[in-house]
Structure 1
């Protein structure tokens, strides 16, 4: 009977979205290491279409070999470790965003209440003015006084 192997670098299985984040970080790390070769290939390919295939073959091979050399399991594990190291920071940031949203929600509710109160006062004034006009009309008007 074989015992399950504990992976100390990756203590938890990640959700697909989290795995995508780790992959994004991994590819970014590899691209950073090969930035010079990528730039040389991009400079060669700029302004070309199909001729890129034969005119930029050397630059493409240099870029590809750099990517192959640096796209290792160790680099992926390092990206995963970076992701786990940033978990607490991401949680704190998410909580701060939640607090800011909640604060804004309270402000909007308060502004809405103030607006409703203002509209209620204006409606009462308008109603009182209409009632005065009715009373004046009932009493025969004030044109003869």
Structure 2
């Protein structure tokens, strides 16, 4: 079986979402018929199932798949712009904090390393000083 890349999987999800949106009434009718049934669904709800499948086959065309791919590309560009905007905002925030507190980056990183190297504190004692059980 061919493995899909992340983008193709997202295109497929958009495609399925669009098809389900077009056939929402048929899907609801089948779900209402199938509610509370087990193995009798295939017999009791055959007309609703066929109606739902025919609707999905009618709308699941290559043109619809291409439209889903175009929508994904449009959303991809928007997501890229959003990521760039967030990265720019994070860089500005970091620069502001560095400027505000007046700490050079190497000092800030050394303090962070010191905090990471300290032992775990339990009831006021570091983990290495705490009595063994």
Task: Provide the TM-score with structure 2 as the length reference.
Answer: 0.63
| Distance in 2, Cα, partners of 1:67 & 1:104 | 49
- Report the CA distance between 1:58 and its aligned residue: 0.5
- Report the CA distance between 1:17 and its aligned residue: 0.5
Higher relative contact order (CA 8 A, sep 6+): 1
- Report the CA distance between 1:97 and its aligned residue: 3.7
Instruction: Give the structure 2 partner of residue 74 of structure 1.
Output: 63
Q: How many aligned positions are there?
A: 99
Instruction: Give the structure 1 partner of residue 6 of structure 2.
Output: 17
Runs of 4+ residues deviating >2 angstroms = 95-111
SS at match of 1:23: helix
Q: Deviation digits for residues 102-124 of structure 1, max 9, x if unmatched?
A: 5777799899x8xx7xxxxxxxx
Instruction: Give the structure 2 partner of residue 60 of structure 1.
Output: 49
Structure 2 gaps, min length 5: 104-110, 112-133
Structure 2 vs 1, CA of residues 100 and 54 (structure 1 numbering), >3 Å: closer, same or farther?
farther
Q: RMSD between aligned alpha carbons?
A: 2.5
Structure 2 vs 1, CA of residues 65 and 103 (structure 1 numbering), >3 Å: closer, same or farther?
same
SS at match of 2:37: coil
Instruction: Give the structure 2 partner of residue 7 of structure 1.
Output: none
Task: Provide the TM-score with structure 1 as the length reference.
Answer: 0.58
